[in-house]
Structure 1
Amino acid sequence: MDTHLKMIDFDFEKLRPIGLTQVVVNSLGAMQDTTPPGSRLMRIVETQRDWFTLHDGDAEHRARIAQRLVNVLQMQDSTVTVGDWAVVTEGGADDLWIAALLAPVTQIARRANDGRRQSLASNVDTALLTMGLDDDFNPRRVERYIAMVRAGDVAPVVVLTKSDIARDAQERIAMLRERLPASVPIVAVNGMSEHARTELMPWLHQGQTLVLLGSSGAGKSTLTNTLTGAFTQDTGGVRRGDGRGMHTTTARSMHLCPQGACIIDTPGLRTWRPDADGAALAAAFDDIETLARQCQFRDCRHQGEPGCAVQQHIAPDRLMNFRKLMRDAERSEQTPLERIAIRKKWKSLHKAGAVRARDKRR
């Protein structure tokens, strides 16, 4: 049955299979007086430079973004991304325009090298953190992924691919289970096998939205094809010698699974600077936070102090990764003026040290 919320038309049952929830519907109320008659609710399933592909529950449509919304997003340091819910209006010659975006319930984002915020996916329930059991295997990287998606209120699931061909696969799986928090599911699959769909079935229910995150060559596109039951994404191999992947996915896009879930495939991530404060990121290392309360000293930095419970129980590599993530978060929270002041401070200290060393030599 069609639902009419003053100015915005939508069919809840038709949109529910592509992720519409009552929480999203409730947020429409704030937009009802600012939207022209005949506006429609659609979900963004692919982004290009100037055009966007949206789904209305029946079919896909192409649309452009209204300049007024572009200005608003620039002021908010935000962008349009796959998974967003959009209010769409019709212009002349049946052109469609994105007039407004609903505030995302959840969002995964990162900071670019120049400090700009870059959204990766919106309104996501679960992140499938994909990592190969071959040369792509990197426990530190997956720990950082877990911290960052949890900071965005998204549930992480570690998906280890190439379990059928990787050497030492069982040892690596066991090591990761011991290292990661017990609350994070770990699933090892052959991405080309139908069995992968069975293993991931608990997260493929109707209305669920998942995003695949991982490095190039980890098997994200292969897994997308298996879970959707169709050849929707091009796939490629890895380079000989270093096992690094070759980009096959060049844009984020959303696909539908036969079980009813939506899957967002993303290009391989080379870097992922955190877009969250230290407290949110530290929640992913809850074992360290819990043990820190048992340290002998309240201000223990876990760097050789006597009676440090953290160093007694946490692997040095995991602790080093935790410290690096906290430093990244601290830098992300600094204003440009604070970063300049810190650079000046270290430059001054370095200069003073060079002077002392020169005086000693004399």
Structure 2
Amino acid sequence: MKYYLIAGEPSGDLHGANLIRGLKRADPQAEFRFWGGDRMAAAGGAANLSKHYRETSFFGIVQVVKNLRTIRRQMRECRSDVEAFAPDALILVDYPGFNMKMARWARERGIRTLYYIAPKVWAWREWRIKAIRRYVDRLYIIFPFEREYFASKGIAPVFEGNPLVDAIEARRTTLPTAEEFRRRHSLDDRPIIALLAGSRRGEIRDNLPLMVLLSQRFPDRQFVVTGVPWLDRALYDRYLAGSDIRYVSNETYETLAAAEAAVVTSGTATLETALLGIPEVVVYRTLWFQVKLQPYVLKVPWVSLVNLNLGREAVAEIIQSDLSVERAERELRAIVRGGEKRERMLRDFDQLRTTIGGPGASERFAAEMYRFLCNEKLKMKK
């Protein structure tokens, strides 16, 4: 069969690549074309990469508004390319702002549409539920708690585990020891606290200053911030100046593996940190009125994927509008070695791994997609 995949971010590129490999195993005759990145190009062939996500990633309302003309042009290009390829299935990987529009367009043209990694409508923009019911033929979810949620909305989702587990397991054996990591980056012997300040400029701006203040209260620890390669080092240096915090780039898993504990902004990183077995505190700074409105706007009681999947507060979530550091200090002291919450949190992470499911999710999702499409073809022949 012919598969057209659309991913618009680094995480989608990673999961899209693993899905392509799974589809190749399930369907040896598979042909691919896709929007994605280097990982998908490596898995599905560089010649089949139609557009790199570096050209399509626009974060935040301001960026989207400033680039509306470019986004509309890219949408037209994508639709033309899909039509020219004439796939048996369009597979949309996360990236809902773009992909939900593609779902509607595909349904209107009779193209079978599979949505892989559902939009987080359980947190916000719940109005997208109606569009998912109307335009998506098969919805694939990666969090256990989503099964009940989507079923309550009249959608029968497919859950086969979380592909993040595959990505972590693929890296686990290659990760350096704490000693090797220290030598590589000329770090001292103090225990390491990993700082994951986010992957966007606004997140760095809002969260890194708090992390700098926090580090000053732990002179017996070495704090290391994990930079992302698509943001300039100068952005981090602006906030790190005068601090003892060390900077490393594109080594998030390596830093976590060497760390005693971590301070993490909300997002997928909270789940990655937990699956690697590193105790964490979740912090996120936002505007004061957004903090006040959170109980009314956010559809779920927690922001971290750890708590959402466990259904309770296993990790502390500090959502604030100011730079108050006192609670962050208390929570971090509670999870470093000897802290009163550390062992309980590690047991919670063991339960989380069981809840999320084991490795092989990407292959299981791919096999289910292939079975579904084969069954749909048989129905059409009858």
| Common fold: TM-score over 0.5 | no
Q: Which has the higher strand share?
A: 1
Give the TM-score taking structure 2 as reference length.
0.28
Give the TM-score taking structure 1 as reference length.
0.29
> Which fold has the larger relative contact order, with Cα–Cα distance below 8 Å and residues 6 or more apart in sequence?
2
Q: Which has the higher helix share?
A: 2
Bigger CA radius of gyration? 1
